[in-house]
Amino acid sequence: MKNMLKYLLFICLLCVFNLNFLLAASVEIKDTSVKAGQLIKIPVYGNIDQIGSSYSFVFNYNSLQLDVKNIIGGSDLGFTEDKPIYNSKIHSFDSIDITINSSKINSPYNGVLFYIEAEALVSSDSLSIIKPILFKIDNNEPANIEYKQGIVKIIGPIVNQIYPEGFGIAYPNPSREKMTVEFNIKTDSKVNFIIYNSAGAEVESYPETCGMINFEVFDNKNNPISDKNYTFKKGAYKLVLKPNSWNFSTGVYLLMMEVNGSVYKINIVYVK
């Protein structure tokens, strides 16, 4: 009788363990392939075992290999909104984090959470990694959550790279003499730059300047752009800032770029 009770207890514990294992939270992007130049809908799978009022998901990808166009949800998916809200954080030309926020999710849920709609870029037989890095429910990451990255194999001829609009890296930063700031334009546009000090006051701008900083702009072939009425074509550019030390103070500044009604910001530091 004692042996039978021990056996039953063991079976119960095993069932509880297996149930907890099955219900453990996970987010997964499976390997897939696509032809260069084509759109692909990449499913993001999730096993969400908690109910909450707000959800946040973050993934990282290579922006030289994929151009994310949209995040697609739906009533039959985990994220029930047709187009969940998302924003991008640019680390450099080749690294972007995208954060997706939603208050509408099927939970508990096991299946496709949403789709990442993206265009495949670069050359034949390239491998691009999409990496889930964070999932939060009510601003808390589920315990023991498992993240599985996916590989997108890009097949076909070379496609021109499409850079995400905004600032890339600024170097050197802090700067003593001159600083180079990389930036990208997604559609043909006029571009304005404005520099603010730490108190929020405007101290300089481009193309109309007051002489505190010399602005030099170059295209991706390092050709200078001197026309103040220039319409920037889609592509990558460099802005070189050369402060005049006699009337530009040491400090932290905010560099703002205005493009087609959108505004992008980056902090820069000048040290004499």
DSSP 186-244: SSSB-EEEEEE-TTS-EEEEESS--SSEEEEEEETT--EE--TT--BPSEEEEEEEEE-
Cβ proximity of 119 and 37 under 8 Å: yes
Determine the pLDDT at residue 164.
76
Determine the pLDDT at residue 161.
53
Question: Within this chain, do residues 149 and 26 fall inside the same structural domain, yes or no?
Answer: yes
User: Is residue 40 in a domain?
Assistant: yes
Which phi and psi angles does 243 have, rounded to 5°?
A: -65, 145
Question: Within this chain, do residues 130 and 235 fall inside the same structural domain, yes or no?
Answer: no
| Residue 6's pLDDT band (cuts 50, 70, 90) | very low
Least confident of 123-137, 154-168, 254-268: 154-168
| Residue 158's pLDDT band (cuts 50, 70, 90) | low
DSSP-H helix ranges across the chain: 2-23
Question: Within this chain, do residues 73 and 140 fall inside the same structural domain, yes or no?
Answer: yes
Q: How far apart are CA 154 and CA 137, in angstroms?
A: 33
Q: Are strands 213-219 and 235-243 parallel, antiparallel or unpaired?
A: antiparallel
pLDDT mean across residues, the chain: 83
Question: Within this chain, do residues 147 and 228 fall inside the same structural domain, yes or no?
Answer: no
Domain of residue 98: give its range: 20-155
Question: Within this chain, do residues 173 and 117 fall inside the same structural domain, yes or no?
Answer: no
- pLDDT of residue 3 exceeding 90, the answer is no
Structure tokens at 197: 């000090």
Structure tokens at 219: 């295209």
Q: How far apart are CA 79 and CA 71, in angstroms?
A: 10
Question: Within this chain, do residues 186 and 132 fall inside the same structural domain, yes or no?
Answer: no
Side-chain-facing half-sphere of 156: CA atoms under 13 Å: 15
Q: How many domains, in total, are found in the chain?
A: 2
DSSP-H helix ranges across 24-166: none
> What CATH number does the domain containing 208 carry?
2.60.40.10
Q: How far apart are CA 141 and CA 118, in angstroms?
A: 27
- Average pLDDT estimate for 168-182: 88
| Residue 157's pLDDT band (cuts 50, 70, 90) | low
Least confident of 16-20, 116-120, 182-186, 230-234: 16-20
Determine the pLDDT at residue 177.
85
Task: Give pLDDT tens digits for 13-64.
Answer: 444 334 333 445 889 999 998 887 788 999 999 888 778 888 899 999 987 7
User: Is residue 47 in a domain?
Assistant: yes
Radius of gyration over every alpha carbon of the chain, rounded to an integer in angstroms = 24
Determine the pLDDT at residue 15.
42
- pLDDT of residue 209 exceeding 90, the answer is no
User: Is residue 132 in a domain?
Assistant: yes
- Average pLDDT estimate for 83-109: 82
Determine the pLDDT at residue 100.
93
Residues in contact with 6: Cβ distance below 8 Å, sequence separation at least 6, in sequence order: none
Question: Within this chain, do residues 27 and 151 fall inside the same structural domain, yes or no?
Answer: yes
- Average pLDDT estimate for 256-269: 90
User: Is residue 5 in a domain?
Assistant: no
Q: Quick one: how far is CA 236 from the chain centroid?
A: 17
User: Is residue 76 in a domain?
Assistant: yes
User: Is residue 194 in a domain?
Assistant: yes
Listed residue (185, 253, 183, 155) closest to 213, CA to CA? 253
Q: Beta partners for 191?
A: 259
Question: Within this chain, do residues 32 and 151 fall inside the same structural domain, yes or no?
Answer: yes
> What CATH number does the domain containing 45 carry?
2.60.40.680
Determine the pLDDT at residue 235.
86
Question: Within this chain, do residues 130 and 179 fall inside the same structural domain, yes or no?
Answer: no
Cβ proximity of 137 and 50 under 8 Å: yes
| Residue 148's pLDDT band (cuts 50, 70, 90) | very high
User: Is residue 118 in a domain?
Assistant: yes
- pLDDT of residue 120 exceeding 90, the answer is no
DSSP letter (8 states) at residue 122: B
Q: What is the pTM of this model?
A: 0.54
